[in-house]
Structure 1
């Protein structure tokens, strides 16, 4: 008896069984390939990040630089140095020495005021002016108000009986200042229509006042002007 020919239904099942494993294998390989590509891309990104380095170096603090339109340490030094040279070169100093047997005047510096809309470290500027004047050896200095309050507290403590009389410092021996040096920084900003050009102007003024008489012995000013122009970008 001849073998029975397979039915159409059997042939269809055979085709499905033959095709399904191939499709499953192909889908699995595709998923693995995508996963591998993602892993390689991530590893490449990490490698690129780890290989990217930033550079930094020390620069000369006395080198004049204009980085933006705001007050900078260059502005501070230029302004303070100019005003120190000016106050030491004016007649008041020699006149005082002539009247007082060549003795150098005693000065106290009040903190320079910031009258601009910027955040300016005027304490640093005040300290810079004071340091330059002290190191000139042409004037003498006493501590500012805040320091003197702390000194007074210490003197009171030393004379409270808690410290031995041999080491306690006496009150009434501090040196009084002859002059007070004070000042301020102001600014103004001007822009042309369209905002392409901008000018920033700074004015720093200082004055020296005789504490006993209230007379202003010296005034000085330093002007700074910065001009900026935005660069255009072509397509």
Structure 2
């Protein structure tokens, strides 16, 4: 079957289903409004019908708006049902359980060594093959997920150009920056002036513990110096 044609027919069918649901909802609202408007004049009944239709339309558009915020294409947590994968998982579990039983039977002498080796090697070979096929499926899922992400966000412009490796940006950053902050771009050591149990950075005057190795304000290495 032609896949694009099948998808087109499926989309067309879903549109027809939605249209049918909307039509049924409008008919139901009309009936409810007519019943509620019994005993009132025709103008009141017409008003009830239009009010019910407006409420239904508002609810429909709000539902469409909220559902459109969810990008189902990126929802790869719930995988599409894969019958082959389920069969492989079941067979793998049976094989692994069988290998354990072979080992138990060999340990109790229920099977001879030659039969045990043959059964174990056959089961292990098949289990390894299944594990490889499952891994290939996982890799395929991951690749599809990456392609979807690239398709959705790859075309967006970058917020800022990355800084080239080795680019000299510190001089520009220092321009117009207060002294203490500008010194944070400098890794040369500063003297730590110790007074009682506290220490002052000789570069920015920041308050630090007497045992500090780096200034908490400007980040410079500190060299202790008694006051």
Structure possessing the higher radius of gyration over alpha carbons: 1
More strand by share: 1
The interval holding the TM-score normalised by the smaller chain is: under 0.3
Select the structure with the greater relative contact order (CA < 8 A; seq sep ≥ 6). Answer: 1
TM-score by length of 1: 0.21
TM-score by length of 2: 0.21
